[in-house]
Amino acid sequence: GELSSSLAHEKKSPLSSIRINLQALGKKVSGDRVYSEMVDISLQQVQRLEMMLTELLNYSKPLKLQPESLSFAELSREVTHAIGRKVEEKGLRLAIEDRLGDLNLHIDRELMVRALTGLIDNAVQWSPPGGKITLSGKKMAEGKSWFALQVTDEGPGIQERHRKRLFLPFFTTRPEGTGLGLTNVRKIVEQHGGMVFAEENVSLGSVFTIHLPLME
């Protein structure tokens, strides 16, 4: 963890410098289609590396929970604010289904927003334009002091042979994926004493479910 964190920190600074210089070069060659395309490709790869390093940092550093009471409505608003633009840019719609009402959720606000945006970001990657992504919150079966958060999409779904490996570090089925997004989601959820998994036998798309305990 210390080695990964040190390497990630050391590489973020030069990458930032490369990005700034590429952006400046892009302005100089904006009239040249070929060179502009080369700059765009380079900037995309720099952005991908920066994302990988950020996820590696999140994976390597220990989590310190700072729980607070908030409603699902508050939580979903912050999630929408964090990733709503990315959803819209893909031509998708983010729907919120609140079945928790005024129930107080005792969670770390920042970390849970990060976990849910991670699941929604994964849904964005697989959803067809014009599709819908749903973030929902609901109570568990009667007698259980747990609640569930779900992210549902209308993408191609999950192949059964991949299901057991989804949350393993560095496993990804996307060429541009880092393999750490879902791993970081699991880390956050388990730190809260919960669990996260992909639902089986889903008729359309995929459904990721988080189970968390209700705590005072």
pLDDT tens digit sequence for 192-213: 999 999 998 888 899 999 999 9
Residue 8 pLDDT more than 90?
no
Per-residue model confidence as pLDDT tens digits over 59-98: 767 778 999 999 999 999 999 999 999 999 999 999 999 9
CA atoms within 13 A on the CB side of 213: 8
The mean pLDDT value of the chain amounts to 87
Kindly give the residue spans of alpha helices, DSSP state H, lying in the chain.
Answer: 2-28, 33-60, 72-89, 109-126, 160-163, 181-191
Sequence-distant (6+) residues with CB within 8 A of 38 are none
Q: Give the model's pLDDT for residue 142.
A: 65
Range of weakest confidence among 18-32, 41-55, 111-125, 201-215: 41-55
Q: In this structure, what token pair is assigned to residue 112?
A: 């849970």
Query: What average pLDDT does this structure show over 109-119?
Result: 94
Backbone angles phi, psi at 148, to 5 degrees: -125, 140
Q: Give the model's pLDDT for residue 214.
A: 86
Helix (H, G, I), strand (E, B) or coil at 30: coil
Contact 71, 137 (CB under 8 A): no
Q: Give the model's pLDDT for residue 158.
A: 87
